[in-house]
Structure formats: C-alpha cells, structure tokens
Amino acid sequence: MTMGKGEGSYLFDTDGRRYVDFCAGIATCCLGHCNPIVVNALCDQAHRLMHCSNLYTIGEQEKLAKLIVEDVIGIPGRVFFCNSGAEANDGIIKVARRFGHRRPAADGSPRYEVITFRKGFHGRTLGSMAATGQEKIQIEFDPMLIGFTYVDFNDLDGLRAAIRKETCGIMLEAIQGEGGVNPVKPEFLRAVAELCKEHDLLLMIDEVQCGFYRCGTPMGWMGVCPELKPDLVSCAKGIAGGFPMGCFWVSNRAINDEGTELASIMGPGSHGSTFGGTPLACATSYAVVSELVKGHYGERAKRMGEIIKSTVEGWQLPVVECVRGLGLLRGVALRRGSFSVPEGSTPSAYVNSLCMAAGLLCCPAGTDTLRIIPALNIPEEVLAEGLDILRGVLSQLA
C-alpha cells in the first residue's frame, strides 16, 4: 500500500483507493492532511527563510517557545527545539544526568539513573531505546546504555523499591500509547510526584504522543492530574501538524537554596542540534499550535473520544473487551482467544490488517489493542464512517 494523497481525514493510495484515516501519521497530522493552515504557514516561511543555524537568534523560535510555555504547558520554563520525540527524550535524559551532577548523592557521587516503566515507549535512539522497558525494542541492540531501571506501570510498591542513591528522575507517559493505550492511575501519578519531592528526583513526562490536545487537554497529564508540576516534558508528534519537529520543556523551578533554576543548568553549549528549531519548522508549528490554542480542540477531542468509546462498547461484541484512553487517544482492547490469529501475527496487527483491507487505517498498540488516533478535527461523519468499517471487521471476527 503506497499513499499518494491526503485530504483531511482521508488518505488515497496511488491506485486512487480511499481510506478513512484513524492513524493520522501516528498521531502527528493533528489538523488533518493538507490543512491550508499548515500548508500556507509552511510555504510562506519556505519563501522567506528555511534555515539559518542557531548561530543567530531565530525569532520564530522565540515566538513559538513563548506560546508553548505560556499557553500550552502553563508553568514557567524554557524550551529547546529538536526534530523528533526520541531526540526530545534524549534531551530530558541529559538534563536529568546534569541535574544528578549538580545535586549528587549524599556521598558526593553523581546520580544518573532514571526509572521508567514496562510497556512504555520513549523512542529508538540509543538513549531513548534504553529508556524503553520493552524487550522487542532492544533485542540484539545490547548492551544498552546504562542508567535505567524498569518498573511495572501503576505499581507503587515496585517504584518505591526501585529508588536508590543513584536515582535522579522518574520518566513516564500519562497514557502509554505504543505499549497498549494504558492510562496512568491518577493516584499513582500523584504518588510519583510525591516520591520525586521526597527523594529530590526530576519528574519527567513523555508527552510525545499524549500532548498538544490529543487527550482532550493541552498536555496529557492535565486530564489525569491537573495540579501536577513536572520538571521536564518532552513533546513531538502533533506539535507541527505532520512536519518533523520535537521539543523539550524544562521548568524554571529552583533546585537549591541559592535559587538556581533547573533550566539554567543547560546553558549555552550544553546541548545542540543543527536542524532543531529551524525557522521553517517553528513557523509551521506556530501556526498549528496557535490554531490548537485558540480553537476548541481539547473539548472536541473529549467529545469525539466519548463517541468512539460509547459506540464501540455499545456494539457489545465478544471480541472487544473495552475501550481505553482519553480524548482521541483510544485503544480498542481485543479479547484474547475470542478469534483466531494467523501464525506469526498478533491480534492487534491482524485486526489492523483486516481494517486496512476494508478501507480503514488504524494502528496496533501492544499485542492486543487497536489504536485509534485520528486528526483532532476529524469530522463527525468521517468518524462515523470509520467506526462503521470497524464494526464490520470486528463483527466478522466474532
């Protein structure tokens, strides 16, 4: 299957066949394909200035950083721009390690270990892959970068037991996207924040998939625990409507009695990226993020997400266990053993392939969950059209 053209929440392959798009470039094309808001911002900026290097001030970057800090994250801090989610996570891991030098263990040795969670996903670089507690991501790429330890998601006793003198941070997604659309429990997330305070650890949230209104709130954690004050946040996917872009946010909070700001420990020269935050990427992202901020995309994502949940659960099909997630990050949990799966495939990959053949593009999440992550502006009738196709596929399985 080769895609030739996109239009809103439809994709067309090179043979001209039309698909309802519940995948949206894996949660990146948040305003749909070829949205004039995105295309015009990209083309206008391409005519003006594409790239000039970070040897100069990039006005588009300053404007975008201000918008993200003030209107999306809403907590004083600073932003570094990069090109992907994995780079953003490598960035926050570097901040955590530097923090571990500035705030060493009682014996003076630097702290460096970050606790992450099984079934989480943080990317494919050497750093973000090591942070990803899933064997299938790491297989035959060992030895892994040291300094990570994995705990079961939502297991508070396991987390407490994993904290040791080398620990400098705890990193998690509000909803594990790739790993099966597994939401964090609010009481667990609150406990993580308390443990971070108690042990002087950085609270690191990977918002690469959940962020930018996907889950019905500006950032995913806000729908779970709005009062949470993270130290580090990584973003990418939806940030620029399908244009490659990522960023990480660092809190301005003081890390010692002298009032040293956390963001200040990454001064000029400490990190960099040739292509990160080009005028082209920033102007495109600015158009997307300002549209998300001024539109009612969060409310819309919540409403459409509820439609997905109530519709799919309303079918009462034996192959569906439940629908998990928040906003427009949804997972249809398939019931193990309720249908047969070809050798070598998984329930989620198999059902995904049946949907593709029927004209619907979804995305597997883990082995047993079908992920629904459409554009945030998917029209209600296109959502209904896609759900009808899904019903046909799931009913036939049953």
Ligand X SMILES: *Cc1c(COP(=O)(O)O)cnc(C)c1O
Cα dist from 301 to 23, 216, 277, 292, whole Å? 15, 5, 27, 11
| Identity of the residue, 207 or 368, whose beta carbon is nearer to ligand X in the bound complex | 207
Cα dist from 381 to 318, 348, 373, 387, whole Å? 26, 25, 16, 10
Cβ at position 339, least distance to ligand X in Å: 27
Single-letter residue type at 301: A
Cβ at position 47, least distance to ligand X in Å: 27
Cβ at position 73, least distance to ligand X in Å: 16
| Identity of the residue, 85 or 366, whose beta carbon is nearer to ligand X in the bound complex | 85
Single-letter residue type at 210: C
Cβ at position 101, least distance to ligand X in Å: 25
What tokens were used for 128? 């973000």
| Identity of the residue, 205 or 308, whose beta carbon is nearer to ligand X in the bound complex | 205
Cβ at position 237, least distance to ligand X in Å: 6
Residue recorded with tokens 């901020």: 293
| Identity of the residue, 167 or 209, whose beta carbon is nearer to ligand X in the bound complex | 209
Interface residues toward ligand X, by CB under 6 A? 84-86, 89, 121-123, 173, 177-178, 206, 208-209, 236-237
| Identity of the residue, 177 or 298, whose beta carbon is nearer to ligand X in the bound complex | 177
Cα 31 to Cα 38: distance, rounded to the nearest angstrom: 8
Residue nearest to ligand X (CB): 85
Is residue 80 classed as helix, strand or coil in its secondary structure? strand
Burial (CB < 10 A; 0-12, 13-18, 19+), residue 327, is buried
Cβ at position 374, least distance to ligand X in Å: 16
| Identity of the residue, 208 or 219, whose beta carbon is nearer to ligand X in the bound complex | 208
Q: Residues 378, 31: contact at Cβ < 8 Å?
A: no
